[in-house]
Amino acid sequence: MTLVIDAGGTYLRYSYAKEGIELVHQVQTSAITLYELIELELAVAPGIKSVCISYAGQVKEGVILSSPNRHGDLGDIKNYFEHRYNIRLFIQNDLTCAVLAQAQIYKSKNLCAFYIGTGLGLGVISDGVLLKGIGNTASELGHIPYKKAPFRCGCGRDNCLELFVSGTALYQWKKHYNLDEKLSLKELKESTDLHAQEIYTEFIKAYLYALGTVITLFNPKELVLGGGVIESNTWLHSFAEQHLQEYSLHASLEECSLLLSQLENAPLKGALQLKDRNDK
């Protein structure tokens, strides 16, 4: 049996898998660390032989290098659990896992997974090859320098794209201007408050800039939109289709299909692929 975990910025989602993902449980990230969750599940389910993790941060060869939107997880997690518990552990960035799952569904060799949730993330498969980079940190879209903000990103900088287009960005900007934190993106747009309208406008500009950058740089056949913010604002899909001409190379845009994710728990399902990919 395999324990499959999606360690996101807001929630830890997990499930047991034999042939596929079964019932998905979730707990708030602030309530428990990834290490604690795994040890708890190993104690209550001794049949676990492997753990597959989709992780919202930078990882390389089983080591968590950085976690801008999470805390308490750094270190050689693979070595820690494999030696203490005699199990196998596989871990990759969450958007790497998401793009693996999306590419399998669409049977695509040129696909990007673009997710707006707690942060802004991107996974890229180009000509059938998963884009990783020398340090396994390629396609960190959320941390492209964009422009200055009055607060800092989880990575420590104050000019990341993620500071303008992410769930965390919306929260931080509303807090900065003393606005109701529950205001939705559409409510910000329709508000008579100038600060609310500014937050909406900056989000939209950064959103289109991010999408246009992905299309221009990676020339995908499919660009799949997902994540909690997208799921709560599905109109962002048609909005982008109407305005992307101004933000991307036309030749690349014409070849690209912009799609809303139809795959529930894509990072979890992609994480489950990690075991088979490592077995080959």
DSSP 84-134: HH--EEEEEEHHHHHHHHHHHHHT-SSEEEEEESSSEEEEEEETTEE---T
Mean pLDDT of 158-185: 95
Q: What amino acid is encoded at 272 in this protein?
A: L
pLDDT score for 45: 84
Confidence of residue 19 (pLDDT cuts 50, 70, 90): low
Q: Among residues of the chain, what percentage have pLDDT more than 70?
A: 98
- Least trusted range by pLDDT, from 64-68, 123-127, 149-153: 64-68
- Residue spans of the domains in the chain: they are 2-96+265-279, 106-260
For residues 124 and 96, the answer to whether their CB atoms sit within 8 Å is no
List Cβ neighbours of 156 (8 Å cut-off, separation of 6 or more): none
For the ranges 9-18, 177-186, 200-209, the lowest mean pLDDT is seen at 9-18
106-260 has the same fold as 2-96+265-279 = yes
Pick from 14-23, 119-128, 154-163, 216-225: least confident: 14-23
In this prediction, residue 47 has a pLDDT band, given cuts at 50, 70 and 90, of confident
Q: Say whether domain 106-260 belongs to CATH 3.30.420.40.
A: yes
Predicted confidence at residue 180, as pLDDT, reads: 94
Decide if 73 contacts 33 (C-beta within 8 A): yes
Give the mean pLDDT of 160-165. 97
Q: What is the pLDDT of residue 46?
A: 84
Q: In this predicted structure, what is the pLDDT of residue 155?
A: 87
Which pLDDT belongs to residue 278? 63
Length of the chain in terms of residues written: 280
Q: What pLDDT, on the 0 to 100 scale, is given for residue 279? A: 45
pLDDT of 276 > 90? The answer is no
Q: How confident is the model at residue 280 (pLDDT cuts 50, 70, 90)?
A: very low
Per residue in 258-275, pLDDT (tens digit) is: 999 998 889 999 999 888
Topology annotation, domain 2-96+265-279: Nucleotidyltransferase; domain 5 (3.30.420)
Query: What pLDDT sits at residue 37?
Result: 93
User: In whole angstroms, what is the distance from residue 110 CA to residue 128 CA?
Assistant: 6
pLDDT digits (tens, 9 = 90+) for 209-232: 999 999 999 999 999 999 999 999
pLDDT at 242 over 60: yes
Return the residue matching tokens 């090859």.
129
The pLDDT, as a whole number, for residue 100 is: 95
Q: Does the pLDDT value for residue 116 go beyond 90?
A: yes
Q: What is the pLDDT of residues 50-90, one digit of tens each?
A: 999 999 989 999 999 888 777 778 889 999 999 999 999 99
Share of the chain above pLDDT 90, in %: 78
